[in-house]
Structure 1
Amino acid sequence: MASLLRTASLARPSISRSIARPAPRIFTSTILQRNYASAERSFFPDEPEAPVVKTPIPGPKSTKVIERLSKVFDTRSLNMVAEYPKSIGNYIADPDGNVLLDVYAQIASIPVGYNNPSLLLAAQSPEMTSAIINRPALGNFPQHDWADILETGILKVAPKGLNQVFTGQSGSDANELAYKAAFMWKRQQERGGAGVDFSEQEISSAMNNNSPGAPGLSILSFRKAFHGRLFGSLSTTRSKPIHKLDIPAFDWPQAPFPACKYPLDQYAEENQAEEQRCLAETERLIKEWHNPPAAIIVEPIQSEGGDNHASPNFFRGLREITRKHNVLFIVDEVQTGVGATGKFWAHEHWGLQDPPDMVTFSKKAQTAGYYFGNNELKPNKPYRQFNTWMGDPARALLFRAIIEEIERHDLVRNTAVTGQYLYEGLENLAERYPKEIANLRGKGQGTFIAWDSPRRDEVLKLAKGHGINIGGSGEMAVRLRPMLIFQKHHADLLLEKLEKIFKS
């Protein structure tokens, strides 16, 4: 940590001058010889050269931590115990001295590395201190510089055409807030506009959860989608039964998401037919569902549901359908946003004629909310879209520092370049070990890469023993979610370790 703080003291004026590693790391595998170019410079010169595995995971110290923690906290979903002060860059450490290359990154939530020096500086700033100890109820008591914080951070990277934001607490919260905005927008239209007041019947029936005050509207989502675990977002989540069992749900429709074949370009004709089938069913549901959808919500890549991809034509088709039927188009960029796919926002890959109505975000942004551009999406009265915090200035300041770090190092481009390099390496592995890597996908999508494995859970477990922290999605997918500072020499390490796992 001392070396990190020393680096941090120089971060603002000079961190863009990345320091060269002492020597490039080149390994020879049985599939190919890879030399990632001796000129590559590390964004984290103090990173380990390679993973270190001293004990089984969990080791004895971690086991004691787990035993103690389990008495006061649910540890049944525990992946590993981390020691964050000793973690750095792309590497996560545990109490037993194990240091793993982390290509899961807190479920895609760490953008620019553990203990990033620039973020350490931002955390020590007077404005961050004030935001933490004087956390404002933003709807009632916004701080004097809240507009400046938004304009120089969250709104600086707003998707094209969306110039406003409503901030929230988490990805689930962001989606639920977007749903509320959609419902209020739809009923405002049906009522005759923002200037038309509520009827006495609407007011009284709302208090009894009855129509017309509590209208029979819905949000349409897609099979295998994941949009969160709060009540409204959970009704649109369709990825795993364990998320939904025993929880009352809204009577909302789900459309089929294309079951495409991979690589997408090699099965273009078949995938086009499948996408057209799904678009037709989506339109039918919008027209016929007994609780009419006010909006549809879709992930650019279905993440938790198995890393399912579709072509830009599918998403352009969805946009056309929503315009045709006066339904809002919400894009859930909670996991895909902030550079992960080689674009700042994944929906930039689609080439839309007009932007989505709302784009939700969280994870790598370290804050949450939804972007919008249409003033009609603002409720017609105060306190309708409201809670105590309405976001968190401290986290908004952190996102601003993350944006600055992304710009300083051109990290979105880095992700695109490294992703292409990694994908090519995985293609080679897939040719060599076709039973280990099936349906490789994510070409041209930065490092947002996945494949299906018949022994997925075993692979994830073996990876830790080889010094790699990696995750899964759906029933059999191995998903890669490295940080934006993941580079070619990290890709070489990952490919080397994967080959050892496949040989075992």
Structure 2
Amino acid sequence: MASALRTASRAGLSLPRSSARPCSRTAPIALRRHYASAAPATGERSYFPHEPTGPVIKTSIPGPESVKAIERLSKVFDTRSLNMMTNYQRSYGNYIADLDGNVLLDVYAQIASIPVGYNNPSLLLAATSPEMASALINRPALGNFPQHDWADILETGILKVAPNGLNQVFTGQSGSDANELAYKAAFMWKRQQERGGAHVEFTDAEISSSMTNQKPGSPELSILSFKSAFHGRLFGSLSTTRSKPIHKLDIPAFDWPQAPFPACSYPLDQYAAENAAEEQRCLDETERLIKEWHNPPAAIVIEPIQSEGGDNHASPNFFRGLRELTKKHNVLFIVDEVQTGVGATGKFWAHEHWGLTTPPDIVTFSKKAQTAGYYYGNNDLRPNRPYRQFNTWMGDPARAILFRAIIQEVERLNLVENTAITGRYLYNGLERLAQQYPGEIKNLRGKGQGTFIAWDSPRRDEVLKKAKGVGVNIGGSGEAAVRLRPMLIFRKHHADILLDNLEKIFKS
């Protein structure tokens, strides 16, 4: 333990005392040598003491070493969606590195999925602990053989940050999986209600017809989702995904309804009356579908901010209206926080911005949590028999341990508040750029939503490509949106680097 702490100290890494466990020496030392001069010019303290002072561009991207690595990989793995070939040993804090010595400020965080920085020392300690080693080499089939401390891992981690009113969790493998499991829970809940309660036995007709995919065993029910939504690429989640045809082509889909998501004008507060009318139109159509769709919805599922579909926002009033509709018509309200959760919007959960009087029935999560699953509070959402909501792994204790370390780091550094503060600063800077370059930044959105910010660009793909050339990794969404998804450790001096480089792109 002492040698591990000495190693971390030499690397300039700040470790929480409560987390002192053996850690790997190699990565911190290498990073210390590579990024030895990283005090921001603004004087603002970085969460990573030896983080780069800014991007480093040595070659085109991809450079020659990356090209060779990509060619090799493409022989055994499909690389057509590749963004960049990454050297994770050289990536650090907010900066992502490649094989050619290029170091980019990462404001995309993979796909909004890196929470507290590359090679975070606190996560390194958790990853090299005996507890993690046991979880990895003895990975339990949790439904049958849960490890003895599974309740402790959940209570000190995943459940510690559970949304208000939701005190139970079903863990899963990915965001798509989390949504699929939530849909299954909704269907079983609905049929249990219709049957008369958990104590009522299945009929012979239900049992036999389920084996031939016929009703009543396979009921004619649905999940209602929204235009431009993205909820995953598995069969059930894909049937609720409405963002891009390429996700859905050639895949059989369920006959489930699609409601309109409000096409709001931005900034939201400047078009309050127009947006309120649009949101009411969408609420009215949602209610009509709930009442009239031939396969009645057991639940509606919605993202607090539609991400893959173009970073589409709506006001808290719209979401409060949806909640009231679900209560009125006895359908579940599933909030998909796979991308919005874990602090990105300046709240730990984005739906906290809405001011709901009653919590959602289910909240799904993944990405920045580095694990997945869904929260719930109603005991009736537990299936009435074992093995109905089940698979071999039912989650992964190793990933739950990592999420616990992420939560500790978020709390230790007060990163949700940091994201809210940095987000306001970044949004104000983008507003100034929008005034200077109105043809480059259109429909700026995300005010008051932390760093969950986006705008429309008439030359979006060109902007994303040129961003790499000036040392910034940015993502897009929908047809024209540039979306920002920086990590929770993103600070004002990082925002300044981003804004300066965006201006270079706009001038070019």
- 1:176-221 Cα shifts (integer Å, max 9, x gaps): 0000000000000000000000000000000000000000000000
Matched, 1:490 2:491: no
- 1:294-352 Cα shifts (integer Å, max 9, x gaps): 00000000000000000000000000000000000000000000000000000000000
1:184 corresponds to: 188
1:394, distance to aligned residue in structure 2 (A): 0.1
Equivalent residues in 2 for 1:99-248 (5 A)?
99-248=103-252
2:476 corresponds to: 472
- 1:235-288 Cα shifts (integer Å, max 9, x gaps): 000000000000000000000000000000000000000000000000000000
Aligned-partner Cα distance in 2 for 1:14–1:462: 43
Equivalent residues in 2 for 1:280-295 (5 A)?
280-295=284-299
1:345 corresponds to: 349
Amino acid at match of 2:132: M
Are 2:229 and 2:303, in contact at CA under 8 Å, matched by a contact in 1?
A: yes
Are 1:222 and 1:255, in contact at CA under 8 Å, matched by a contact in 2?
A: yes
Amino acid at match of 1:129: A
Aligned-partner Cα distance in 2 for 1:161–1:8: 41
Aligned-partner Cα distance in 2 for 1:121–1:193: 47
1:386 corresponds to: 390
Residues 411 and 106 (structure 1), Cα distance of their counterparts in 2 relative to 1, 3 Å cut: same
Are 2:231 and 2:241, in contact at CA under 8 Å, matched by a contact in 1?
A: yes
Are 1:221 and 1:296, in contact at CA under 8 Å, matched by a contact in 2?
A: yes
1:21, distance to aligned residue in structure 2 (A): 8.3
- 1:44-69 Cα shifts (integer Å, max 9, x gaps): 01110010000000000000001111
Equivalent residues in 2 for 1:86-105 (5 A)?
86-105=90-109
Are 1:8 and 1:121, in contact at CA under 8 Å, matched by a contact in 2?
A: no
Matched, 1:326 2:330: yes
1:249 corresponds to: 253
Aligned-partner Cα distance in 2 for 1:416–1:42: 16
1:4, distance to aligned residue in structure 2 (A): 5.8
Residues 22 and 335 (structure 1), Cα distance of their counterparts in 2 relative to 1, 3 Å cut: closer
1:375 corresponds to: 379
1:7, distance to aligned residue in structure 2 (A): 4.7
2:399 is aligned, of 388, 395, 401, to 395
Matched, 1:25 2:25: no
Aligned-partner Cα distance in 1 for 2:276–2:155: 40
Are 1:453 and 1:477, in contact at CA under 8 Å, matched by a contact in 2?
A: yes
Structure 1 unaligned blocks of 5 or more? 27-37
1:23, distance to aligned residue in structure 2 (A): 5.3
- 1:91-127 Cα shifts (integer Å, max 9, x gaps): 0000000000000011000000000000000011100
- Percent identical across equivalent pairs? 82
Aligned-partner Cα distance in 2 for 1:162–1:412: 20
Aligned-partner Cα distance in 1 for 2:12–2:177: 33
TM-score by length of 2: 0.94
1:455 is aligned, of 443, 451, 459, to 459
1:361 corresponds to: 365
Amino acid at match of 1:155: L
**What is the DSSP-based 3-state SS (H/G/I as helix, E as strand, rest coil) of the residue aligned with 2:288?**
helix
Amino acid at match of 2:407: I
Residues 390 and 442 (structure 1), Cα distance of their counterparts in 2 relative to 1, 3 Å cut: same
- 1:390-430 Cα shifts (integer Å, max 9, x gaps): 00000000000000000000000000000000000000000
**What is the DSSP-based 3-state SS (H/G/I as helix, E as strand, rest coil) of the residue aligned with 1:257?**
coil
Structure 2 unaligned blocks of 5 or more? 20-35
Aligned-partner Cα distance in 2 for 1:493–1:319: 40
**What is the DSSP-based 3-state SS (H/G/I as helix, E as strand, rest coil) of the residue aligned with 1:221?**
strand
- 1:72-103 Cα shifts (integer Å, max 9, x gaps): 11011111100001100000000000000000
Are 1:316 and 1:350, in contact at CA under 8 Å, matched by a contact in 2?
A: yes
Amino acid at match of 1:59: G
Aligned-partner Cα distance in 1 for 2:214–2:230: 28
Are 2:8 and 2:15, in contact at CA under 8 Å, matched by a contact in 1?
A: no
Residues 4 and 79 (structure 1), Cα distance of their counterparts in 2 relative to 1, 3 Å cut: farther
Aligned-partner Cα distance in 1 for 2:63–2:273: 51
Aligned-partner Cα distance in 2 for 1:48–1:414: 20
Aligned-partner Cα distance in 2 for 1:22–1:170: 35
1:419 corresponds to: 423
TM-score by length of 1: 0.95
Are 2:37 and 2:52, in contact at CA under 8 Å, matched by a contact in 1?
A: no
- 1:134-172 Cα shifts (integer Å, max 9, x gaps): 000000000000000000000000000000000000000
Are 1:84 and 1:92, in contact at CA under 8 Å, matched by a contact in 2?
A: yes
Residues 69 and 75 (structure 1), Cα distance of their counterparts in 2 relative to 1, 3 Å cut: same
Amino acid at match of 2:163: P
Aligned-partner Cα distance in 2 for 1:355–1:7: 44
2:30 corresponds to: none
1:13, distance to aligned residue in structure 2 (A): 2.1
**What is the DSSP-based 3-state SS (H/G/I as helix, E as strand, rest coil) of the residue aligned with 1:266?**
helix
Aligned-partner Cα distance in 2 for 1:386–1:148: 21
Aligned-partner Cα distance in 2 for 1:198–1:134: 37
Are 2:38 and 2:49, in contact at CA under 8 Å, matched by a contact in 1?
A: no
Are 1:333 and 1:346, in contact at CA under 8 Å, matched by a contact in 2?
A: yes
Matched, 1:264 2:268: yes
Aligned-partner Cα distance in 1 for 2:262–2:83: 31
Aligned-partner Cα distance in 2 for 1:339–1:215: 38
1:451, distance to aligned residue in structure 2 (A): 0.1
**What is the DSSP-based 3-state SS (H/G/I as helix, E as strand, rest coil) of the residue aligned with 2:104?**
strand
Amino acid at match of 1:454: P
**What is the DSSP-based 3-state SS (H/G/I as helix, E as strand, rest coil) of the residue aligned with 1:85?**
coil
1:310 is aligned, of 302, 309, 314, to 314
Aligned-partner Cα distance in 2 for 1:394–1:14: 19
1:70 corresponds to: 74
2:62 corresponds to: 58
1:379, distance to aligned residue in structure 2 (A): 0.3
**What is the DSSP-based 3-state SS (H/G/I as helix, E as strand, rest coil) of the residue aligned with 2:16?**
helix
